[in-house]
Structure 1
Amino acid sequence: MSASPENTSTTELTTDTAALASELFAPGVGAQAGPPTTPAEGTGVAPGAHSHGGPAPTGSPAERFTSTDPDAFGVPTGREETWRFTPMKRMRTLLDGAPSDAHLTWTTDLPEGVELTSVEAGDPLLKALPEPADRLAALARQRSGGAAVVRVKSEAQLDRPVTLGLAGTGSDDIVWGQLVIEVGAFARATIVLDHTGLARYAGGVAIIVGDSAQVTLVSVQDWAPGTVHGGQYDAVVGRDATFKQVVVTLGGDLVRLVSNVQYAGPGGTAELFGVYFADETQHQEHRLWVDHAVPNCRSNVLYKGALQGEEARTVWIGDVRIRPAATGTETYELNRNLVLTDGARADSVPNLEIETGEIVGAGHASATGRFDDEQLFYLCSRGIDAETARRLVVRGFFADVVQLIGIDGLQDRLMAAIEARLGALPGLEEQSVEQPA
């Protein structure tokens, strides 16, 4: 956004009940936990934390560092936990941080009750936003020279979605951008960010959800081949507010999105949904961080991905932290990946850290594999040929998330794009359908 509006494996890891969580800690351990940037000495994890992130240091939420200064992060080498999955040669064009005045081309559809304006760098609004979580996000904040701002009035009931079409022009210049979305208390709004065209783009999106507001943010990455896109999405969810984010990533050469959620008051709900489909040589990386720091909040995460073709690569990292004060928390995250051809690779890393036993429930799961043989056999036993059965399974795999967007025209367009990609899928007819035991 510019400153002016213009080897198949399966893993199941779950922690399902408050009773189980309470067994993880000695009395009072949660209250002794340090701040998020202060891990316990020699462990890489804060005292009392529960993590499935692997051996320390894990790059888990307990170690998270934020800053508005790009130099505070240093220049990534690819060995850092935050960057170890990212193809650094392709990302380097953004990480070098060259200044640029280039912009995306904007088209807008703004219902009554919505204002689109801009603020300059140094505006108090920008200083109050959540800080960048990596060097690229800090560069975008610094280089954007301000922000575009979308404001939805308190108690507004929009008659249609707010739509921002953001198109790359094909220029080799980097586009730096920042967008702030403010939704007033008790308002109901859907905001669509539709990314198309060819670009080298680093942008930040911050969405402030007012108390008791209900907001849906849809971000579509339907870029042209050759696009490099890195972005940070920050949501601040107000008291008793509901925030739903749906991310759809289909296009581009390299797309790396970091989505963060924090709660400004008790009773908030955040739902993070996503679908991604990586083709040959595409790299699609989605990182999520949900910070439960206040009582009685909910979060639910569901991301689904598919891969086909040589060197197709997807990465999903899901971090959830439940701090000592976040009693009554209920959270769950799930990532599923469907590997359609040889030569593709999906990495999935869920992390859950619990610092209080007084929760409703917490869990996570991750699964990566081929087609479900039982589903295929069922369809084939009813006269559907094997190739059609496989395509039906993939469509169904994505459809339950895409339909959460709630906008018929956009849903149809995205499913058609997935359908077109499946039409180019080679070798399905050569894969036999095995009868379940």
Structure 2
Amino acid sequence: MTTAYTEVEPAFVPVQTRSERPHSYDPSDFGVPTGREVNWKHTPVAQLSGLFETAPVNDGVVYEVSDERFVGAPLTDGAAPRGEFFRPEDVVSAVAWKGSVEALHIGIPQDEEVAEPIVVTITGQGADRRADGHLVIEAAANSQATVVLRHTGSAQYAQNVEILVRDGARLTLISVQQWQDDAIHVASHQAQVGRGSALTHSVVSFGGGLVRVNPNVELDGNGSEGRLYGLSYADAGQHLESQVYLFHKGKHTVGDVLYKGALQGESAHSVWIGDVLIGPDATGTDSYEANRNLVLTEGARADSIPNLEIETGDIVGAGHASATGRFDDEQLFYLQARGIDEEQARRLVVLGFLSDIVQRLGIPSLEEELLAAIEAELAEVNA
């Protein structure tokens, strides 16, 4: 008896590891996402159709910089330092690269310590307006500065932010999304942190219909540090997302990732995916990532996926954690037992939960503003 065998082609296995995903400056190399891809499966891609091609008229946002001394000449494709580190890793970042003929360049001179935050205000010109943007933020050797990106108004905005932290520099970058409810904002932040330098990168998302800000940080130099913080508050119908990638490449690097979010209202949705890679040469690494979510009402959902890859055994420590839950009944009982009514007790719990991130921003006026915004959100859920 003869048995016939049919050769079966191996099944397609999608790229799961962030570091192995393809890169290209040509949007056509990625194709249009279907929502089944690993980096799109938690995103409502149907709402992003306007960002899969370059803007026909790139007039969706207006930029204003608080201190023009730090604004360099616009950077065309191929003009250094644009593209020194940034490589698009999805179709929207490739669209933003191709569609932004000139990149805004914010440069901190060598050895200069800038006392006041440099604020870049990005104002949307309308929900039907499109914009592609590429920003380069460069902290020269041994410099120190804080840069705040403030997003307001409404637009459909594909954005790239390239961050270069030279040796010995210390840079704080805060991206604040306070869009109107119909705004769509998809951003790719890519940062290279040099020897003995430090980057504190924070993403604060309160407004917008669909906001996806994905930081990608490479601790390239020995002794470099990366602290990545996030704060989000999703209301009914909002989708707020961050996919974080921290690559420990140099020796004796330090990484700290902490994102916190609150959700309230029907179909409020947050997504956090954290990928940490400790490379084969990253001996002496100390790294930890965590995501915490507080669900305040029925109908809200938080997706949280931490991932950790370690390619060397010679490290100080590494870990990851994720937790999503409702109010801690014991906390509420403790407060109510001391005469605090339930509504006020819930308010104190939420403020205590989120203020941990707010207090790390280091700008008192912004901290006060965000705490007031949290109070306003809580007033709506308690109304």
Which TM-score tier does this pair reach, normalised by the shorter chain?
over 0.9
Q: Secondary structure in 2 aligned to 1:170?
A: coil
Unaligned runs of 5+ in 1: 1-41, 45-55, 428-437
The aligned counterpart of 1:64 is 21
Query: CA, structure 1 residues 125+62, in 2 after alignment: closer, same or farther (shift >3 Å)?
Result: closer
Q: 1:383 aligns with which of 332, 339, 342?
A: 339
Superposed CA offset, 1:242-261 (max 9, x none): 10011110000000111000
State which drifts further: 116-125 or 350-359.
116-125
Cα deviation, residue 263, structure 1 = 2.4
Cα deviation, residue 62, structure 1 = 4.6
Cα deviation, residue 146, structure 1 = 2.2
Superposed CA offset, 1:35-58 (max 9, x none): xxxxxxx899xxxxxxxxxxx757
Q: Give me the whole-angstrom Cα distance separating, in 1, the residues matched to 2:58 and 2:78.
A: 18
Equivalent position amino acid for 1:266 in 2: N
State the TM-score, normalizing by the size of structure 2. Answer: 0.94
Superposed CA offset, 1:367-399 (max 9, x none): 000011221111111100011100111011111
Determine if contact 1:117/1:150 at 8 Å carries over to the other structure.
no
State how 1:13-412 maps to structure 2 within 5 Å.
59-110=16-67, 114-170=70-126, 172-412=128-368
Determine if contact 2:15/2:38 at 8 Å carries over to the other structure.
yes
Q: Give me the whole-angstrom Cα distance separating, in 2, the residues matched to 1:103 and 1:342.
A: 35
Q: Secondary structure in 1 aligned to 2:128?
A: strand
Determine if contact 1:111/1:159 at 8 Å carries over to the other structure.
no
Cα deviation, residue 314, structure 1 = 0.4
Determine if contact 1:275/1:303 at 8 Å carries over to the other structure.
yes
Q: Give me the whole-angstrom Cα distance separating, in 2, the residues matched to 1:144 and 1:424.
A: 39
Q: Secondary structure in 2 aligned to 1:131?
A: coil
Query: CA, structure 1 residues 406+281, in 2 after alignment: closer, same or farther (shift >3 Å)?
Result: same
Cα deviation, residue 173, structure 1 = 2.4
Equivalent position amino acid for 1:228 in 2: I
Q: Give me the whole-angstrom Cα distance separating, in 2, the residues matched to 1:171 and 1:226.
A: 6
Query: CA, structure 1 residues 243+62, in 2 after alignment: closer, same or farther (shift >3 Å)?
Result: closer
Q: Give me the whole-angstrom Cα distance separating, in 2, the residues matched to 1:58 and 1:379.
A: 48
Q: Give me the whole-angstrom Cα distance separating, in 2, the residues matched to 1:163 and 1:234.
A: 19
Q: Give me the whole-angstrom Cα distance separating, in 2, the residues matched to 1:340 and 1:148.
A: 39
Q: Give me the whole-angstrom Cα distance separating, in 2, the residues matched to 1:73 and 1:274.
A: 28
Q: Give me the whole-angstrom Cα distance separating, in 2, the residues matched to 1:419 and 1:276.
A: 14
Q: Give me the whole-angstrom Cα distance separating, in 2, the residues matched to 1:129 and 1:60.
A: 19
Cα deviation, residue 72, structure 1 = 1.6
State which drifts further: 165-174 or 141-150.
165-174
State the TM-score, normalizing by the size of structure 1. Answer: 0.83
Q: Give me the whole-angstrom Cα distance separating, in 1, the residues matched to 2:305 and 2:381.
A: 27
Unaligned runs of 5+ in 2: 1-9
Cα deviation, residue 232, structure 1 = 0.4
Q: Give me the whole-angstrom Cα distance separating, in 2, the residues matched to 1:402 and 1:146.
A: 33
Equivalent position amino acid for 1:409 in 2: S
Q: Secondary structure in 1 aligned to 2:23?
A: coil
Superposed CA offset, 1:134-168 (max 9, x none): 11001101111120101100110112111111111
State percent identity of aligned pairs: 47
Equivalent position amino acid for 1:352 in 2: L
The aligned counterpart of 1:52 is none
Q: Give me the whole-angstrom Cα distance separating, in 1, the residues matched to 2:344 and 2:127.
A: 40
Q: Secondary structure in 2 aligned to 1:311?
A: coil
The aligned counterpart of 2:5 is none
Equivalent position amino acid for 1:410 in 2: L
Superposed CA offset, 1:213-239 (max 9, x none): 111001100001100000000111010
Q: Secondary structure in 2 aligned to 1:117?
A: coil
Cα deviation, residue 98, structure 1 = 4.0
Aligned positions, number: 374
